């Protein structure tokens, strides 16, 4: 039987106002004209920020340019093997979370345990290993969160024997409320309750932030994948921990299980609204540039076709296997999708041999990925 949690909160005027801000920005962003390359560039910049700031919160010492060098160029940073492993693990987990959200994967304990396994893997897993993520079992003993300097107990999580029931209760609550409450509030509460349960000895904060990302993206609040809540947390770290710290005691059983978390929700929703505003400003700046608007042609494509365009950023030809990796499809499904797109005039067969069959964009859509961009990594005019 799941253990019920009885958190209390109120939709304060501040929360209501920020939720309205988010909805307004969301509507504007969805209709903002952009090119494929610019959108992809902004998305990569946002992902880099998410990885850098989420690991920085946990004490990672790599600077953002070092994170980019590790992830993009495979360069090692002398004396920072542990930090490198953390950013690689977060990269692997974030990539998978985005895929799962895009394909509307149901939220389960196994999924959360797989997120944690990737966070702690320390390896940017290749796509060939995408089916073999071994879920991490919950902790089997008590863990304690201490102040790094004074070593005093900051928080004493629930006993290991209660973790399973609390996690089942959390997942059940999310499923019951994601069609009732605004999705940003569901994500905020899920984030709070996950770190409250603290189901692992390590990696709880990173997994909680990825869980919130999964809920937001799956619920339609991905804003084209180009915003980073982690940056807001890292730049307001004291406020982040203060908002998470509620109750009269550091002991889970003495107040935190039934705490009033209105202040935390206010902090979370305000951060999301600020991050969304930053995205809108970025996109408005790009829209005012002389980059041609490709939105009329983009609107003729379905969501999968628009996403597949990103594969043509670095290559004029792609394979069904790459399509499968992008959408987490089985080989047969990927091959059938490519055949369908050829019939629709979206793709052309570049190499017809069965062993090395490849595809290129048809002439009508080729221009979508040929527009020049000053810097495809998001610097210069695309800097966030």
104: left (phi over 0), alpha (psi -120 to 50) or beta: left
Whole-number Å distance between alpha carbons of 265 and 192: 9
Residues 253 and 331 in one domain: no
**Averaged pLDDT, 27-36:** 75
Residue 180 sits at the vertex; the CA angle it makes with 178 and 181, to the nearest 5 degrees, is: 75
The residue with greater pLDDT, 40 or 97, is 97
| Contact present, 125 and 328 (Cβ < 8 Å) | no
Phi, psi of 351 (to 5 degrees): -130, 115
Residue 350's CATH number? 1.10.10.10
Residues 85 and 204 in one domain: yes
The residue with greater pLDDT, 314 or 233, is 233
The yes-or-no verdict on residue 114 having pLDDT over 50 is: yes
Residue ending a domain, choose from 224, 251, 286: 286
- The reported pLDDT for the residue numbered 154 is 83
**Averaged pLDDT, 228-254:** 83
Domain-embedded: residue 8 = no
- Give Cβ neighbours of residue 42 (< 8 Å, ≥ 6 apart): 224, 226, 279, 282, 283, 286, 378, 382, 384
Domain-embedded: residue 5 = no
Domain-embedded: residue 7 = no
The yes-or-no verdict on residue 383 having pLDDT over 50 is: no
SS (H, E, C) 218-234: HCCCCHHHCCCHHHHHH
Q: Give the position of tokens 């928080």.
A: 155
Report the predicted TM-score, pTM, of the whole model to 2 decimal places. 0.79
8 - beta bridge partners?
260
- The reported pLDDT for the residue numbered 4 is 65
- The reported pLDDT for the residue numbered 375 is 36
- The reported pLDDT for the residue numbered 318 is 92
The yes-or-no verdict on residue 190 having pLDDT over 90 is: yes
On average, the pLDDT of the chain sits at 84
Domain-embedded: residue 318 = yes
Q: Give the domain range for residue 338.
A: 295-371
Residues 160 and 140 in one domain: yes
Residues 270 and 343 in one domain: no
The yes-or-no verdict on residue 178 having pLDDT over 90 is: yes
Residue 59, Cβ neighbours under 10 Å: how many? 10
Residues 161 and 223 in one domain: yes
pLDDT in tens, 155-174: 889 999 999 999 999 999 99
- The reported pLDDT for the residue numbered 259 is 85
Residues 259 and 309 in one domain: no
Residues 50 and 107 in one domain: yes
- The reported pLDDT for the residue numbered 35 is 67
Domains held by the chain: number: 2
Residues 282 and 299 in one domain: no
Domain-embedded: residue 72 = yes
User: Which stretches within 140-182 are classed as H helix?
Assistant: 160-177
SS (H, E, C) 7-47: CECCCCHHHHHHHHHHHHHHHHHHCCCCCHHHHHHHHHHHH
- The reported pLDDT for the residue numbered 176 is 93
- The reported pLDDT for the residue numbered 162 is 94
- The reported pLDDT for the residue numbered 89 is 92
Percent of the chain residues topping a pLDDT of 70? 86
- The reported pLDDT for the residue numbered 265 is 95
User: Nearest-CA neighbor of 194 among 209, 183, 182?
Assistant: 209
Residues 305 and 280 in one domain: no
**Per-residue pLDDT band at 123 (split at 50, 70, 90):** low
Residue 160's CATH number? 1.10.3290.10
Residues 235 and 347 in one domain: no
Residue ending a domain, choose from 220, 251, 286: 286
**Per-residue pLDDT band at 292 (split at 50, 70, 90):** low
- The reported pLDDT for the residue numbered 256 is 80
In 3-state terms, what secondary structure has residue 361? strand
Whole-number Å distance between alpha carbons of 80 and 58: 14
Residue ending a domain, choose from 286, 311, 345: 286
For residue 192, the Cα-to-chain-centroid distance in whole angstroms is 17
Residues 131 and 85 in one domain: yes
Domain-embedded: residue 252 = yes
Residues 118 and 33 in one domain: yes
**Per-residue pLDDT band at 112 (split at 50, 70, 90):** very high
Domain-embedded: residue 169 = yes
Q: Give the position of tokens 């944690």.
A: 116
**Averaged pLDDT, 196-218:** 95
**Averaged pLDDT, 92-120:** 92
Query: How many residues are recorded in the chain?
Result: 384
- The reported pLDDT for the residue numbered 282 is 79
Domain-embedded: residue 354 = yes
The yes-or-no verdict on residue 1 having pLDDT over 60 is: no
The yes-or-no verdict on residue 3 having pLDDT over 80 is: no
Whole-number Å distance between alpha carbons of 106 and 171: 10
């Amino acid at each position: 039987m799941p253990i019920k949690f009885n958190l209390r909160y109120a939709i304060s005027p501040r929360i209501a106002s920020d939720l309205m801000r988010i909805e307004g920005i969301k509507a504007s962003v969805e209709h903002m004209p952009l090119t494929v390359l610019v959108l992809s560039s902004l998305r990569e910049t946002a992902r880099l920020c998410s990885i850098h700031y989420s690991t920085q919160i946990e004490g990672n010492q790599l600077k953002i340019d070092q994170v980019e060098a590790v992830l993009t160029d495979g360069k090692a940073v002398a004396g920072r093997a542990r930090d490198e492993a953390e950013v690689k693990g977060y990269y692997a987990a974030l990539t998978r979370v985005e895929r799962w959200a895009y394909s509307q994967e149901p939220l389960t304990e196994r999924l959360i345990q797989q997120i944690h396994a990737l966070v702690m893997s320390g390896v940017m897993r290749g796509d060939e290993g995408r089916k073999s993520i071994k879920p991490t079992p919950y902790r089997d003993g008590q863990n304690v969160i201490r102040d790094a300097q004074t070593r005093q107990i900051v928080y004493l999580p629930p006993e290991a024997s209660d973790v399973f029931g609390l996690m089942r209760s959390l997942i059940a609550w999310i499923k019951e409320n994601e069609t009732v409450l605004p999705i940003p509030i569901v994500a905020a509460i899920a984030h709070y309750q996950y770190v409250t349960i603290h189901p692992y000895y390590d990696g709880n904060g990173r997994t909680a932030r990825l869980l919130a990302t999964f809920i937001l993206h799956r619920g339609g609040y991905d804003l084209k994948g180009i915003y980073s809540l982690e940056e807001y947390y890292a730049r307001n770290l004291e406020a982040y921990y203060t908002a998470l710290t509620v109750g009269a005691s550091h002991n889970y059983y003495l107040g935190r299980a039934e705490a009033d978390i209105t202040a935390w929700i206010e902090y979370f929703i305000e951060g999301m609204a600020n991050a969304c505003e930053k995205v809108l400003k970025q996109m408005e700046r790009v829209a005012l540039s002389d980059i041609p608007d490709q939105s009329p042609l983009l609107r003729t494509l379905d969501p999968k076709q628009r996403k597949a365009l990103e594969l043509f950023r670095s290559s004029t030809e792609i394979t069904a296997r790459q399509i499968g990796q992008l959408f987490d499809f089985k080989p047969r499904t990927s091959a059938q999708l490519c055949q369908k797109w050829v019939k629709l005039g979206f793709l052309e067969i570049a190499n017809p041999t069965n062993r090395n069959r490849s595809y290129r964009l048809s002439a009508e859509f080729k221009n979508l990925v040929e527009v020049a961009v000053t810097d495809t990594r998001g610097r210069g005019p695309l800097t966030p």
